[in-house]
Structure 1
Amino acid sequence: MPAPPITVSGSHLHSDTKDYSLPNASWSPVMVRLYNDLMEKTVDGTWTRLPGYSRSLQYFKEEDLARIAKAVPVQMVEDTRHFLRFTEMERLGFEHVIFHNDSEKKCVCLFQPGPLLEGLPGIIHGGALGTMIDTTFFVTAYKSANAVFTGTMTINFKSPLPVGSVVRLEAKITSMEGRKVFLSCEVQNSDRTVLFAEASAIFFQMK
């Protein structure tokens, strides 16, 4: 039998209002500088800094949650936590912030991977970088095209990414076809001289 659909209440959406995408003591000077550069671009409204919450429910509009529940009925679990916020301890995991540009249909994510994301010694696990790419794709697709479901994602890893590095991910919508939203993403170092990965994806809009 299918699970009962999600029910949304104010307590679900506002159980933890802390914004985890604000600078903290673990951010390196390079991460803070890039953050401040992007914050300057939000002054005229062309870019928007997106908050980082502890629960995935808080990222969606209530009407979209209802539509998602119809497509994929699941039972609400009260103690869930958004995967990227698996720990409240600073520095250890996915330190990141995402900025969105609606007119250009793209997002820029600043990412500083912590030591709990290691794969090979001193190198971030490929799955952790893939998670960050998928998240940046998702935010771009949802904010620019109201698409939420990952159809396909292809990643070409170009260079090992050291733990603690500051990474810049830029994802953009390249085209749309019916409910399909096509996106591309580049993952580079802070001064954009090293390419760590290239990716492409197809997301689907909700019916």
Structure 2
Amino acid sequence: MLQRGLRWLVGHRQAAPLLQTLAGQHLPPGSTWMPAQPISVSSSSHLQPDKKDYSLPNASWSPIMVEMYNELMEKTVDGSWTRLPGSWRSMQFIKEGDLAKIAKAVPVRMIEDARLFLRITEVEGLGFEYVIFHNGSEKKCVCLFQPGPFLEGLPGILHGGALGTMIDTTLFMTAYNSANAVFTGTMTIVFKSPVILGSVVRLEARVTGTEGRKVFLSCEAQSSDRTTLFAEASAIFLQMK
């Protein structure tokens, strides 16, 4: 039944544009859909990602989000905190030497149309609106996250998987910038309270310890006024050899 459904989808005229988008390539009439072919790691111009900084305030940010952003920006003046640019692809913030090490551990394939999952929509305010600040001396990150309507679970409520994605991202940026760890070993999330779409979530992650290549971290997701705990998490990330 699944095969018949896929064959119908491939041959259906109205489905062709969708399949072309998913495949990232032109589909000749009657052809069988195939995924975009991966290519080798390359610095060629056609693989250069969008250079826009997606962590700057835009018209979709609420006044609370902007206020909290400005407060954190004030902490960057003395150099203790750093605002991490909002990237289009991971290759924008992973150092070249680290990318080479990752390629030794797992197959690294650069696909032309790839983007970070958090950048799945280009329209401001519909998906993941966020900015992350890092404190090197304290080995922690603070993330401001405003979920858009495309992240709905229950009516008007943020999907738990979307919050989990934002927690994972905050943990990763903390692990990478504080301890050069890139691989998620384990992550446990305990959800405490629902998040209303359009509200501001403050996530704070920190390194709690190390053991060999293992980096231990914790994270809390709270309301903007820090009176409501939405979720708490613990994780182990692995450093590269």
For the aligned pair, the TM-score class normalised by the smaller chain equals over 0.9
CA distance in 1, matches of 2:151, 2:183: 25
Which residue number corresponds to residue 182 of structure 1? Answer: 216
Gapped runs of 5+ residues in structure 1? none
Which residue number corresponds to residue 160 of structure 1? Answer: 194
Q: Structure 2-normalised TM-score?
A: 0.82
CA distance in 2, matches of 1:47, 1:138: 17
3-state secondary structure, aligned to 2:218 = strand
Which residue number corresponds to residue 140 of structure 2? Answer: 106
CA distance in 1, matches of 2:40, 2:222: 38
Instruction: Report if aligned partners of 1:6, 1:66 keep a CA contact under 8 Å in 2.
Output: no
Instruction: Report if aligned partners of 1:56, 1:82 keep a CA contact under 8 Å in 2.
Output: yes
Q: Structure 1-normalised TM-score?
A: 0.95
Residues paired across the two proteins, number? 205
Instruction: Report if aligned partners of 1:5, 1:69 keep a CA contact under 8 Å in 2.
Output: no
Instruction: Report if aligned partners of 1:26, 1:91 keep a CA contact under 8 Å in 2.
Output: yes
- 1:165, distance to aligned residue in structure 2 (A): 0.8
Indicate how the Cα distance of structure 1 residues 188 and 99 shifts in structure 2: closer, same or farther if over 3 A, else same. same
1:53 to 87, 105, 109: 87
Which residue number corresponds to residue 5 of structure 2? Answer: none
Which residue number corresponds to residue 45 of structure 2? Answer: 11
Asked which structure has the greater RCO (Cα within 8 Å, sep 6+), the reply is 1
Aligned-residue CA RMSD (Å): 1.6
Bigger Rg, structure 1 or 2: 2
Indicate how the Cα distance of structure 1 residues 69 and 12 shifts in structure 2: closer, same or farther if over 3 A, else same. farther
What letter matches 1:192 in structure 2? R
- 1:99, distance to aligned residue in structure 2 (A): 0.1
What letter matches 1:31 in structure 2? M
After superposition, what is the alpha-carbon deviation per residue over 1:60-105, rounded to whole angstroms, capped at 9, x for unaligned? 0111111101100133211101110111100000000000000000
3-state secondary structure, aligned to 1:156 = strand
Moved over 4 A (4+): 3-6
What letter matches 1:83 in structure 2? F
1:73 to 92, 97, 107: 107
What letter matches 2:92 in structure 1? Q
Which residue number corresponds to residue 195 of structure 1? Answer: 229
- 1:16, distance to aligned residue in structure 2 (A): 1.3
Instruction: Report if aligned partners of 2:39, 2:111 keep a CA contact under 8 Å in 1.
Output: no
CA distance in 1, matches of 2:164, 2:195: 12
After superposition, what is the alpha-carbon deviation per residue over 1:124-158, rounded to whole angstroms, capped at 9, x for unaligned? 00000000000000000000000000000000000
